[in-house]
A = this chain, B = another copy of it.
Amino acid sequence: MGLPSLEGEGYKAAPIDGLPPAPAVILVGTQLGENIGTTARAMLNFGLHDLRLVRPKCGWPSIKALKACSGATEVLNAARLYQSVEEASADLRLVYATTARPRDLPKPVVTAVEAGRKLRDGMADGLAVGVLFGPERTGLSNDDLIHADAVLTVPLNPGYSSLNLAQAVLLIAYEWFQAGGPERPASSTAAARRPATKGELVGLLDHIAGELDQTGFFRTPERRQSMLKTMKVVIQRAGLREPDIHLLRGMIKALAEGDRRSR
């Protein structure tokens, strides 16, 4: 196993204290420091923190990366530098290589969804796992792809398939996070107010019908029946709460009393 070649001071070894294990993100020959910064942010959004840089063309450390990371500095500070993909992936047992275009390689191809699940499964089996990302313009070389267990592609609009580096990282981090069965956010309707009783709904409908009867709105009994049936459906479906009923009846009363007052 090749030891990481650390450049500069103050870089502590990953993983970051307190964060649970997560797949390594290996950026190869990255051209723009900004993209390393936005990658760190995308990683941390989904709990990834093991960033490995193979010969970044932008140099390292990078002020541009720091400026672009939106507070995900802990990921940048813990990033490790390597001279080759071999070194960077030496401790990993399951590695996916991202490519924009399918290549003529004897490798299985997985989507981001599948990769997310398999990375989870691998980690559940105690494997160290990671994903390789190539330089912005050219992508990974075939030599680098050789180290991977499978090729990972994200299905894209065929007419415009230029995915930004950090966005590719984001989608794969997202799918890994999703595969973990994250807590579904509790619906805010749960804590909301009590639904109106069925009796209150009937009262509302009767109120509407009674006021409209006085205006001649329905014209015939058949129209009256059909329209009130429609209103019943609407009122039932509306998910009205108790205070809504009071407000609606107040409005109906105001419209109708305006009428009677002026007679």
Contacts and interface: CB of A to CB of B under 8 A. Distances in A.
Contacts of A153: 185
B162 A70 contact: yes
Nearest to A180: B155
A237 B241 CA distance: 11
Contacts of A41: 162, 164
Contacts of A154: 174
Interface string A235-263: 00111110110011011101111110011
A188 B102 contact: yes
Interface string A199-235: 0000000001001101111000000000100110010
Interface stretch (A55-63, A77-85, A108-116): A108-116
Contacts of A107: 188-189
A44 B157 CA distance: 7
A5 to B, nearest CB: 28
A24 B185 CA distance: 24
Copies of this polypeptide in the complex: 2
A162 B254 contact: no
Given A151-B188, A155-B177, A171-B170, A160 B44 contact: yes
A47 B244 CA distance: 41
A45 interface: yes
Nearest to A113: B178
A197 interface: no
Given A47-B157, A234-B238, 19 more contacts: A41-B162, A42-B167, A44-B157, A45-B157, A45-B167, A72-B160, A105-B188, A106-B239, A107-B189, A111-B185, A151-B188, A155-B184, A170-B171, A171-B171, A215-B254, A234-B240, A255-B255, A259-B259, A262-B263
A174 B177 contact: no
A212 B70 contact: no
A207 B109 CA distance: 33
Contacts of A157: 44-47, 177
Contacts of A231: 247, 251
B185 A109 contact: yes
Contacts of A254: 212, 215-217
